[in-house]
A and B are shown apart, each in its own frame.
Chain A
Amino acid sequence: MNLRTFLLGTCSAAALAGLTHAGWAQAETLTIATVNNGDMIRMQKLTDDFTSKNPDIQLEWVTLEENVLRQRVTTDIATKGGQYDIMTIGTYEVPIWAKQGWLLPLDNLGPEYDVDDLLPAIRSGLTIDGKLYAAPFYGESSMVMYRKDLFEKAGLTMPDAPTWEFVAEAARKITDKSNEIYGICLRGKAGWGENMAFLTATANAFGARWFDENWKPQFDQPEWKNALDFYVKLMNDAGPPGASSNGFNENLSLFQTGKCGMWIDATVAASFVTNPKESTVADKVGFALAPDTGLGKRGNWLWAWNLAVPAGTQKAEAAQKFIAWATGKEYLNLVAEKEGWANVPPGTRISLYENPEYQKAAPFAKMTLDSINAADPKNPAVKPVPYVGVQFVAIPEFQGLGTAVGQVFSAALAGQMSVDQALASAQQLSTREMTKAGYIK
């Protein structure tokens, strides 16, 4: 090879590289921040379907653990960093961020999207001033999971819609501490998304509320005392040891290894505890609605992971195209076709629950739907409240405040302070916080 051929070859190779490079440059790349859970990971595997239909759009994923993700995307959106074109955010963030003008309304999801098919309870939490600001990817509520075999042995029958009174009685009856079987496992680990998610939802059923119409904290009211007293006593009698450090994962592993008679937590847990690969009690689990006390509110929460478009992105159109694909009806069919109906992301669309094949494949489908429908984020408590949110209060201050209150409640569960002390302390610190933030004039 002489020098000329070599140069010629190099030049044409460079030109070719330049061409392909220019070709790539035209394709838009969407950077998507998402949370690490089974449904989201499944979606990442199925995106070939989207990219083959939209060859001009490429996807880049940033998958992070929930708490890391929250910190990461909050920093980015608050500083208009523009690192992401699509963010996965919870129902807590959506109303706050939409009000700040940080999110773009999803008004271009296409004619086939069928917004009216979204479950009303979920949709209402994502709609602000009549506009949808995030599309639900999967929704969840909370419910009772119980061990049918232990109930049978104790001569008990779980009703579909139990009361707290029955749950407490059953829990005490089933408990057999010498064999390490505890009647009920509930969250105790401090945090606004940990024990306070459970306790706030439970307090709703006891007629309590975080704030009255004038944003005055209500921990000094008898309803909160009833709720917290009930919880602490029940957990002392029938809960596992060290419950004040148990969150979702700790209770999941207790339940899966056969140590809990009942567990009240997120509906997403149903697919874990019934999975014979992970759970030793897979074929013995029954489901019931979260308990009530006859006041008209059930103690179940409402949560959804949603896809939203931050206001800083330059690729809003492509982002909405992707969201329409990922949260649309077609996607559910795609998952069903590739992975079976039981693996379809639950809790977002009415049509899914009307589908007989899904009903057959997912034994917990009806309970999930009933639980979601029983939650009303705009009227979460028995008494009127000034806020949105069932197991949280959708104000920016809630993460800090909820965790601080969660810490004193966790201390009450651990026996480090009495219920009265915990409530007095919660009242004091939330009054201070709400005054400082300007809610209490």
Chain B
Amino acid sequence: MARNVSTGRKLITTVVAWTIGILIFFPILWTFLTSFKTEAQAIASPPVFLFFDWTTENYAEVQSRSDYLKHFMNSVIVSFGSTLLGLLIAIPSAWAMAFSPTKRTKDVLMWMLSTKMMPPVGVLVPMYLIFRNWGLLDTRTGLVIVLTLINLPIIIWMLYTYFKEIPGEILEAARMDGASLSKEIIYVLTPMAIPGIASTLLLNIILAWNEAFWTLNLSAAKAAPLTAFIASYSSPEGLFYAKLSAASTMAIAPILILGWFSQKQLVRGLTFGAVK
């Protein structure tokens, strides 16, 4: 039964929630607004909020200077490719750990997570040498591989948590009905874990889309995704904030829209299993 909540209290929680929401969203909003200002308005003090001469010249400039579509396609291929490849590896391994745990399973999970604890720059040179020797520098294949490896621990952890929620008896029943291992995973486990898999997929696409260390360092001209596109508009000597904001808006827009559309799925997946 729902609790009785007074109107005053509702009002307070609403205001607090909106304030926090706006605070979190503000940098993105500000970037968006700045992208329509001139460079002079972008640095104006006191800052102008809404009442300025809106201009799209920054977008025109960014369009004429760089090949947005090429960077965009690279981002799509790299982020979707690495997430799908990651799921292919992670589903069976999370299945194994969730349904046939050994006494070392927890250690294995912790060990996987430990790879995320090292600062990536620590392995930049060895990685670069491996990539050079295998001819993977500045290739989308190379970026897909490295992002898969980076996000794999997170994918496995998330899937493992979801799979743990699924009663093992159902899988057992499938096995008793004669389902093979692959059939059990594909036809029984996966459909039940769809919300979990979907939110893992979404979260990892976002993480891969925004990954800016490896994608910048292992790409040059051909495979450079949108992170490199943004980096080409930033400058420590010269104020290009309006152009940088335009480039940033263009780079985050696709993933933001994707996030909006799949918001429900994402929230559901992320809170899945939070309350037992």
Contact = CB atoms under 8 A, between A and B. Distances in A.
Interface string A108-150: 0000000000000000000000000000000000000000000
B232 A36 contact: yes
A79 B125 contact: yes
Contacts of B132: 79-82
Nearest to A60: B221
Interface stretch (A171-179, A250-258, A346-354): A250-258
B137 A83 contact: yes
Interface string B63-87: 0011000000000000000000000
A72 B239 contact: no
A278 B232 contact: no
A75 interface: yes
A315 B99 CA distance: 57
A72 B217 contact: yes
Contacts of B220: 31, 33, 62, 83-84
A41 interface: yes
Contacts of B138: 83
Nearest to A41: B65
Contacts of B236: 65-67, 193, 247-249
B232 A253 contact: no
B212 to A, nearest CB: 9
Given A66-B236, A72-B216, A253-B239, A280 B40 contact: yes
B91 interface: no
Given A31-B220, A75-B128, A64 B232 contact: yes
B182 interface: no
Interface of B is mostly: loop
Interface residues of A, number: 45
Contact of B237 (A37, A72, A82): A37
Given A79-B132, A83-B220, A272 B239 contact: yes
B69 to A, nearest CB: 16
Interface centre among A64, A76, A269 (most CB of B within 10 A): A64
Interface in A55-101: 60-68, 71-72, 75-76, 78-84
Interface of A: 31, 33, 35-38, 41, 44, 60-68, 71-72, 75-76, 78-84, 193, 247-249, 252-253, 256-257, 259, 266, 268-269, 272, 277-280
Given A62-B220, A64-B231, A252-B239, 5 more contacts: A60-B222, A63-B66, A66-B236, A66-B237, A249-B237
A38 B238 contact: yes
B148 interface: no
A278 B221 contact: no
Interface of A is mostly: mixed
A248 B238 CA distance: 8
A162 B205 CA distance: 58
A31 B238 contact: no
B87 to A, nearest CB: 31
A196 to B, nearest CB: 14
Interface in B14-51: 38-40, 43-45
B135 to A, nearest CB: 11
Contacts of A279: 40
B137 A81 contact: yes
B235 interface: yes
Interface string B127-140: 01100100001100
Report the 8 A-B pairs with minimum CB-CB distance, sorted nearest first: A63-B232, A65-B234, A253-B43, A60-B221, A83-B220, A36-B235, A278-B40, A68-B231
Nearest to B232: A63
Contacts of A259: 45
7 contacts: A36-B234, A37-B237, A38-B238, A62-B224, A65-B233, A252-B239, A277-B39
Interface in B227-256: 228, 231-240
Nearest to B66: A63
Nearest to B220: A83
A57 B103 CA distance: 62
B89 interface: no
B67 to A, nearest CB: 10
A365 to B, nearest CB: 19
A84 B138 CA distance: 11
A64 B228 contact: yes
Contacts of A60: 221-222
A193 B235 CA distance: 13
Contacts of B128: 75-76, 79, 81
Contacts of A71: 217
Given A81-B128, A249-B239, A278 B231 contact: no
A61 B125 contact: no
A61 B67 CA distance: 11
Nearest to A68: B231
Contacts of A83: 137-138, 220
B125 A75 contact: yes
B42 to A, nearest CB: 9
B124 interface: yes
Interface centre among B221, B231, B237, B240 (most CB of A within 10 A): B237
B5 to A, nearest CB: 44
Given A66-B237, A81-B128, A75 B65 contact: no
B44 to A, nearest CB: 7
Nearest to B129: A79
Contacts of A193: 236
Contact of A278 (B39, B65, B66, B235): B39
Nearest to A44: B65
A253 B43 CA distance: 6
